[in-house]
Amino acid sequence: MGDDWLAGEKIDVDIQQLSDFAAAIMDELNVNFTPSYEQGVFPMLQAPAPFGEGGLQEGQYFQARHEHSRLAMHQLLTEAARGLASLSIAAKTISADYLAEDALTEATNDDVLNAFRNVEGQATLDTTWQQGDNAVAPPAVDPRA
């Protein structure tokens, strides 16, 4: 079982399209979302409810509900802005990682597995794991380093 679903798969990523997506999301945040929020929605969310100051209990109840809804909308829009920024940063990071590590994608699962196997009598992680902790002595550490 394990990673059988990866066998024979070639993942093709359009690095430029991913980078363009990241830029488009950041533009949407900076050009449309943030100005609309700061100049339109935010001032409206700061306005107090025009009812509930008197002694009428129904008015006080609706004022409290209005305040609760106002704070919830503010939190939702703040999280939406953070989500857009995170999505843009994640897409840009993935794009940069693929660009920087393109040569590493040529490695097969067998290449990776063989990196942990005993090659020409050298001690590897595989032999350490099979023989216990005493198979390979840890490198000496100079405390002054």
Burial of 35 by CB count in 10 Å (0-12 exposed, 13-18 middle, 19+ buried)?
Answer: exposed
The pTM of the full predicted model, rounded to 2 decimals, is 0.57
Cα distance from N-terminal residue to C-terminal residue, the chain: 44
pLDDT(125) > 60: no
**Band (27; pLDDT cuts 50, 70, 90):** very high
Any idea what DSSP says for residue 65? H
Share above pLDDT 90 across residues of the chain, in percent, rounded to a whole number: 34
What is the spatial distance between Cα 93 and Cα 80, in angstroms, rounded to a whole number?
A: 20
- Looking up tokens 């079982």 gives 1
Each residue's pLDDT tens digit, 41-75: 999 888 888 887 888 888 889 888 999 999 999 99
Do residues 85 and 114 touch, judged by C-beta distance below 8 A? Answer: no
